[in-house]
Amino acid sequence: MKAKLEASRSLLYETSRYVDIYKSLDAIAKTRTLTPEERAESKRYSRLADALTPIAKGMTSEFANQNTYDSIQVHGGSGFMRDYACERLYRDARITSIYEGTTQLQVVAALRYVTAGSYLQYVREMLSGLPESKEKEAIMAMVDKLDAMTAYVTEFKSQEFNDFCGRRLMESAAYCVMSTLLLRDSTEIAEIFDKPLKVFIDYSLSQLDGHYSVIMSRTPESMDYYR
């Protein structure tokens, strides 16, 4: 639960930072002409915000639901009663994966960035600036699997197959991004992120392996069973 929480915060803060930067530059542009460097920066951060927003909304709201569900389970029968705050958090969390765009709509918004390789490029650029470590190697292995899955799915040029694999591709991309952000936080900010990082990478590896297994064993012809 702690690992999911820290990963969610890291992604949320980073996405919010990108939004703040490009909106600040947009505000400046209303008072004066932006320099070429500022225009390039505004364009870059606008693209990053657009790419990260759907996975931030999709994954953090799903993790909020998972964590509040687990907190009820930790408390047992007491967690269902109003004596503890978790029953209220559980009820409040449920709407987060519905309003302002359901998780399914976030998948649609994120999928074009997955198939275009935007998340792969983002993660690889960030990893290139971080020191070598076992955690970095593990994330690079996840990135390679995401790359293979994306290439496999897009090779068929089937929109239906893209849609079928979309949720798994989006989540796989999010695991790579969130793990990388946690690694950066652990390396550059504080050691308090070390444990959540290791736990989240283990979790991400298991989830991504499952997605890889499903996607790589399916073809557009498999869709007959799911229609």
Q: What is the CATH number of the domain that holds 51?
A: 1.20.120.470
Question: Is the pTM of the predicted complex or chain greater than 0.75?
Answer: yes
Could you list the residue range(s) of the whole structural domain that residue 138 is in?
Answer: 2-225
> pLDDT at residue 226 above 90?
no
Token output for 115: 């198939």
3-state SS assignment for residue 76: helix
Of 152, 148, 154, 145, the C-alpha closest to 111 is: 154
Confidence of residue 227 (pLDDT cuts 50, 70, 90): confident
Domain count, the chain: 1
pLDDT digits (tens, 9 = 90+) for 114-135: 999 999 999 999 999 999 999 9
Contact 132, 168 (CB under 8 A): no
Confidence of residue 108 (pLDDT cuts 50, 70, 90): very high
pLDDT digits (tens, 9 = 90+) for 60-72: 999 999 999 999 9
Please name the residue ranges forming H helices in the chain: 2-29, 36-75, 86-94, 103-115, 118-128, 134-155, 159-188, 194-216
